[in-house]
């Protein structure tokens, strides 16, 4: 059942002359995991802060369950838990106290709040710092505390502004696994902003790629990748150029892969990576080429056009290479 939970229409927000959100329209359905990727200053935090009712739009609307959020702030507070990029509100409380009081504020009795505090401390790898004041935590521990606070009380919607910022690789993986488990077990709807596309991709149902206050693309990872069908990335480090090792990177098709890999036999290759394209690759493509791309999934260039673009980019950079010649011959680009 695709019940629309959030409905955002023509949302516009400017700061002085800077347009931070430029006519955004999209829905979030119940129990989905929706991620927003975008470059610095794209307008992501502005968007999520408006969805949390903390910033007022200049124009457009944000509805939650069909009702304007600004006219229903009590409903918003009971339904939505927002984790900002940073917060000092709990600085003077210990980890244990912060979670306990949030649990109480969200309706738990004393015993239930104590139990929830214990389980949240375990769930978010905070047992080593339970008695520490928030102000004395490291950046990563503070992020884990923010996540513990956001998920305390099991509100049905989570809005998370960069949930894995400051975290080491193991905790990053843990956070994505945990968010996925919360979504699966409780049906929690999760909307987040991230720069951690590679990891986030594992749990995302839909993703939007944002730049200059607009969505360049929005859809499921499979929809966005449709245009890159059968595309693979080949990256290798070689010393054959003489002297210093250099990394070389190509986008190619599965059909052309054999020729490329065969040709590497004559090179002094020290590292080789062959992988399918990720959402992070798509994000970089969209952001770098945003001036020439149309802002909807349906108008993504087809696979051949994408390949042509990549090969031309290498050619413009004067990157002459036998493998590129091979590609050009294959695709009759010259």
Ligand X SMILES: Nc1ncnc2c1ncn2[C@@H]1O[C@H](COP(=O)(O)OP(=O)(O)OP(=O)(O)O)[C@@H](O)[C@H]1O
Q: Which residues bind ligand X (CB under 6 A)?
A: 15, 18, 20, 38, 40-46
Could you tell me how many helices (H) and strands (E) the chain has, helices first?
12, 13
> Which CB atom, from 190 or from 287, has the smaller least distance to ligand X?
287
Mark out the alpha helices in 152-266 (DSSP H runs). 169-186, 197-200, 221-225, 254-263
Least distance CB 85 / ligand X (angstroms):
7
Give how far Cα 272 sits from Cα of 33, 266, 279, Å.
33, 14, 20
Residues 6+ apart with CB under 8 A from 99: 116, 117, 120, 121, 145, 148, 149, 152
Tokens read off for 51: 């969805």
Q: Scanning the structure block, which residue is given the tokens 């910022």?
A: 165
Q: Is 130 exposed, middle or buried (0-12, 13-18, 19+ CB in 10 A)?
A: middle
Least distance CB 182 / ligand X (angstroms):
23
Question: Taking the CA of residue 240 as centre, how many other CA atoms within 13 Å lie in the half-sphere pointing to its CB?
Answer: 16
Least distance CB 194 / ligand X (angstroms):
9
DSSP notation for 299-319: GPPPHHHHHHHHHHHHHHTT-
| 243 CB neighbour count, 10 Å cutoff | 6
As a whole number of Å, the end-to-end CA separation of the chain is 51
| 175 CB neighbour count, 10 Å cutoff | 23
> Which CB atom, from 100 or from 191, has the smaller least distance to ligand X?
191
Least distance CB 34 / ligand X (angstroms):
16
> Which CB atom, from 42 or from 159, has the smaller least distance to ligand X?
42
> Which CB atom, from 167 or from 307, has the smaller least distance to ligand X?
167
Facing residues of 8 across strands? 26, 62
Least distance CB 175 / ligand X (angstroms):
18
> Which CB atom, from 42 or from 300, has the smaller least distance to ligand X?
42
> Which CB atom, from 38 or from 221, has the smaller least distance to ligand X?
38
CA 202 – CA 180 distance, rounded (Å) = 9
> Which CB atom, from 84 or from 301, has the smaller least distance to ligand X?
84
Least distance CB 101 / ligand X (angstroms):
28
> Which CB atom, from 37 or from 113, has the smaller least distance to ligand X?
37
Contact between 55 and 62 (Cβ < 8 Å): no
Least distance CB 291 / ligand X (angstroms):
18
Least distance CB 16 / ligand X (angstroms):
7
CA 140 – CA 145 distance, rounded (Å) = 9
């Amino acid at each position: 059942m695709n019940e629309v939970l959030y409905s955002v229409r023509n949302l516009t927000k400017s700061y002085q002359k800077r347009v931070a959100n430029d006519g955004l329209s999209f829905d979030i359905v119940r129990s989905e995991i929706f991620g927003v990727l975008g470059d610095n200053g794209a307008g992501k935090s502005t968007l999520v802060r408006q969805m949390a009712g903390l910033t007022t739009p200049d124009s457009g609307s944000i509805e939650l369950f069909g009702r304007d959020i600004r006219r229903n702030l009590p409903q918003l507070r009971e339904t939505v838990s927002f984790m900002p990029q940073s917060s000092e509100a709990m600085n003077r409380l210990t980890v244990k106290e912060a979670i306990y009081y949030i649990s109480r504020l969200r309706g738990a009795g004393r015993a239930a709040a104590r139990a929830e505090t214990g389980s949240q401390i375990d769930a978010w790898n905070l047992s080593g710092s339970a008695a520490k004041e928030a102000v004395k935590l490291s950046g990563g521990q503070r992020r884990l505390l923010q996540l513990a606070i956001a998920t305390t009380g099991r509100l049905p919607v989570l809005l998370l502004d960069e949930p894995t910022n400051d975290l080491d690789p193991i905790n990053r993986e843990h956070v994505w696994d945990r968010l996925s488990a919360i979504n699966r077990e409780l049906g929690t709807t999760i909307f987040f902003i991230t720069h951690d596309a590679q990891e986030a991709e594992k749990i995302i149902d839909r993703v939007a790629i944002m730049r200059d206050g607009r969505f360049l693309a929005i859809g499921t990872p499979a929809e966005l990748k449709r245009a890159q069908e059968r595309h693979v990335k080949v990256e290798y480090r070689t010393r054959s150029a003489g002297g210093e090792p250099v990394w070389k990177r190509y986008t190619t098709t599965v059909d052309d892969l054999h020729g490329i890999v065969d040709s590497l036999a004559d090179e002094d290759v020290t590292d080789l990576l062959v992988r399918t394209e990720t959402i992070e690759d798509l994000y970089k493509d969209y952001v770098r080429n945003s001036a020439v791309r149309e802002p909807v999934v349906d108008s993504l260039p087809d696979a051949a056009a994408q390949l042509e673009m990549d090969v031309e980019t290498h050619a413009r950079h004067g990157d002459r290479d036998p493998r590129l010649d091979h590609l050009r011959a294959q695709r009759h680009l010259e």
